[in-house]
Structure 1
Amino acid sequence: MDKRVYLVRHCEAEGQSIQSPLTLNGMKQSEHLCDFFSNISIQKIITSPFLRAVQTIKPLSKKLDIEIEIDKRLSERTLSSKHLPDWFDKLKATFEDMDLTFEGGESSSDAAQRIVNVLESVLNENTNNIIIVTHGNILSLLIKKFDEHFGFEEWKNLSNPDVYLLTLSKEHHQIERLWKGN
């Protein structure tokens, strides 16, 4: 049987820190996300420890009575420990050179490996419909593993929230965007 992994980018948040909550609009979006998944038999929910990611999936978790599993490997990637006024250009460069790192930061390759490790661990479990909630940059890096054409421009076009379905079997894989906006 195919494994279906729903890759979710968190809803609209008030900021980028670990404790940044969802905005009022983000809370509404999380309710829409709950409705979106209402006819899908979800067996497991794993999320980044960032507050905005947990709040994104909490309504669905409550509705389905599924405990949220926190996995720090789903945390957003740190581009640099220093303030980068030109962070946008630096981020673009890390899509072109996956091993590029900035002071105190993590390369795209290393960040991608973190989320791939999460994916590999759930693929070895006896669950078929899994939700993984994470952040835009690290989500993009995972998608890029399955679609080499996914890059910086596609990252820029992600929405908050966003949902991709990764379908995996022994013979093939398929990734498709499911979310059609807010």
Structure 2
Amino acid sequence: MEKKIYVIRHCEAEGQSSHAQLTEKGVGQAAELAGFFGDMVINHIISSPYLRAIQSIERVAEREEVGIVVDDRLAERILSTEVLPDWLEKLKATFDDIDLKFDRGESSREAMQRIVSVVEDIFKSDSDNTLLVTHGNLMSLLLMNYLPDFGFEQWKSLSNPDVFLLKSANGEITIDRLWVG
């Protein structure tokens, strides 16, 4: 049986805090996202607990009459609890060394294992079509798990929002980018 997981990066937000709301542009993007999924049957929606992720998919949930299940494993990765003026360089380094970890942060491997566990749970579930809403860094690490060449440069090319389809059929997983932002 074929199972599909639509992995979605949230729409444009006002900031990085867990309570950051969508910008006016992000609200428009959420409407576009709802239109994008307009012809699809959605069985299950799982989202990061961050407000921007939930707001990105609310219209789809309402239209499909599917509740949004919040899963903490989809929260954005914490690179460090310290302010890192050179955070972009540090982030790049964590793509090159997936075990590299900064002050009270999470390594790429740890974050990858977290999101992969969600995907594995979905593939084992009864749901045929699931929307999974998360953040750019975590999405990149998920893709890197299945596509080892996916790295920092590919992360930089992600858009808000972005959508990838992970399809599992006969034990094989394929990945396609569906959103052209």
Is the structural similarity TM-score above 0.5?
yes
AA aligned to 1:18 is S
Aligned to 1:109: 109
SS of aligned partner of 1:78: coil
Alpha-carbon shift at residue 17 of structure 1 (Å): 0.1
**1:22 partnered with 2:32:** no
Report deviation, 1:176: 0.8
CA distance in 1, matches of 2:172, 2:46: 24
Percent of residue pairs identical: 50
Q: Which amino acid aligns with 1:131?
A: L
| Paired AA for residue 78 in structure 2 | T
Question: What's the TM-score once normalised by structure 1's chain length?
Answer: 0.98
Distance 2:102 2:64 in 1: 41
Deviations 1:53-109 (A, max 9, x none): 000000110111100000000000000010000000000000000000000100000
Inter-partner Cα distance in structure 1 for 2:110 and 2:83: 21
1:125 is matched with 125
Q: Aligned AA for 2:63?
A: K
**Residue 41 (1) aligns with residue 41 (2):** yes
Where does the alignment leave 5 or more consecutive residues of structure 2 unmatched?
Answer: none
Number of residue pairs matched by the alignment: 181
Structure 2 partner of 1:50: 50
Q: Which moved more, 1:165-174 or 1:94-103?
A: 165-174
> Root-mean-square deviation (CA), in Å?
0.6
Please state how far the C-alpha of 1:122 moved relative to its aligned partner: 1.2
